[in-house]
């Protein structure tokens, strides 16, 4: 029970995707398989785990309404223990970043600080919060690209990630709208209404589809485009078609569907770079 609770608190699946994203940024930038790149991926994983944990620490009261089964509101893991774990994860991830290079260490420290600030204050600022977490997630690909021969090549998958996560985060505001109103979290769904939030999410996600052909002009081949269409564009269309019927009730499942293009997008760029 306690192991499962920790995996849920850390969001082990999301952390794995974050590590893969950092490594993808490195490979897309022309990197080869090196020990330093693996350390950088582990650094990203630890910082992500710290961010997820500190998020639940600050969200304990809201989660007691929206998600009472989560590890902290259910009482399986205390807030104090979660806070200590997040600090350790941030410190370990930042230390690994500095071990790889000063630039990586500095970016890791900034990301750790922003993740803490996001969970404490920025998250409750609506669209600013959505853009912050999307930007930090996209920056993870750039993080991997910092030690690659062609770091600018990591910007295209970073744009993918930014748009997908922006759209998904806005939808999550629909999912949590009842608890967010009680907690005075100023998401788009709370401030402007569910329809406005749904339109904003749709625009961000349709932006992914709009830019998906661009890598073809950068030299990516058919393998990239096939994965982009089937693994990224199609699930986005399915999730939007589904959620537009009953936004609040269906938002939870739609955000889960949108995990598919996050992973498939990474795979598409890996296939294209190979």
Tens digit of pLDDT for each residue in 159-207? 999 999 999 999 888 777 766 776 667 777 777 878 888 999 999 999 9
Indicate if the pLDDT at residue 217 is higher than 80. yes
Whole-number Å distance between alpha carbons of 202 and 147: 34
| 103-119 per-position pLDDT tens digit | 999 999 999 999 999 99
pLDDT digits (tens, 9 = 90+) for 22-54: 999 999 998 888 899 999 999 999 999 999 999
Quick one: what percent of the chain has pLDDT higher than 70? 97
Q: Spell out the domain ranges in the chain.
A: 2-273
Rounded distance between C-alpha atoms, residue 130 and residue 122, angstroms: 9
Q: Collect contacts of 174-179 with beta carbons under 8 A, ≥24 apart.
A: 174/198, 174/243, 174/247, 174/248, 174/251, 175/248, 175/251, 175/252, 175/255, 176/62, 176/66, 177/248, 178/65, 178/66, 179/62, 179/63, 179/65, 179/66
Q: Which two tokens stand for residue 242?
A: 């589904």
Give the residue carrying structure tokens 């904003």: 200
pTM for the model stands at 0.84
Place of tokens 């989660």: 63
Helix (H) or strand (E) holding 273: helix 259-273
Distance CA(213)–CA(205), nearest Å, equals 15
CATH of 2-273, one of 1.10.357.140, 1.20.140.10, 3.90.850.10, 2.40.160.20: 1.10.357.140
Query: Distance between CA atoms of 26 and 153, rounded to whole angstroms?
Result: 9
């Amino acid at each position: 029970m306690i192991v499962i609770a920790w995996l849920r608190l850390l969001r082990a699946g999301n952390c794995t995707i974050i590590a893969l994203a950092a490594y993808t940024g490195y490979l897309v930038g022309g990197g080869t398989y090196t020990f330093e790149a693996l350390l950088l991926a582990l650094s990203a994983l630890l910082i992500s785990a710290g961010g997820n944990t500190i998020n639940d620490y600050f969200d304990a009261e809201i989660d007691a309404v929206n998600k009472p089964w989560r590890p902290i509101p259910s009482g399986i893991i205390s807030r104090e223990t979660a806070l200590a774990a997040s600090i350790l994860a941030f410190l370990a991830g930042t230390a690994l970043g500095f071990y790889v290079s000063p630039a990586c260490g500095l970016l890791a420290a900034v990301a750790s600080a922003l993740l803490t600030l996001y969970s404490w204050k920025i998250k409750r600022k609506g669209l600013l919060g959505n853009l912050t977490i999307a930007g930090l997630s996209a920056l993870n690909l750039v993080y991997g690209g910092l030690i690659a021969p062609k770091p600018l090549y990591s910007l295209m998958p970073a744009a993918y990630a930014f748009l997908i996560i922006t759209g998904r985060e806005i939808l999550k505001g629909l999912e949590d709208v009842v608890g967010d109103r009680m907690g005075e979290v100023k998401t788009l769904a709370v401030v402007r209404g569910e329809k406005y939030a749904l339109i904003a999410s749709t625009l961000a996600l349709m932006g992914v589809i709009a830019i998906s052909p661009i890598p073809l002009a950068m030299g990516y081949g058919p393998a990239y485009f096939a994965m982009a269409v089937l693994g990224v564009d199609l699930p986005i269309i399915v999730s939007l078609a589904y959620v537009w019927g009953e936004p609040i009730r269906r938002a939870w499942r739609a955000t889960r569907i949108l995990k598919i293009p996050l992973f498939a997008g990474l795979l598409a760029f890996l296939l294209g770079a190979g």
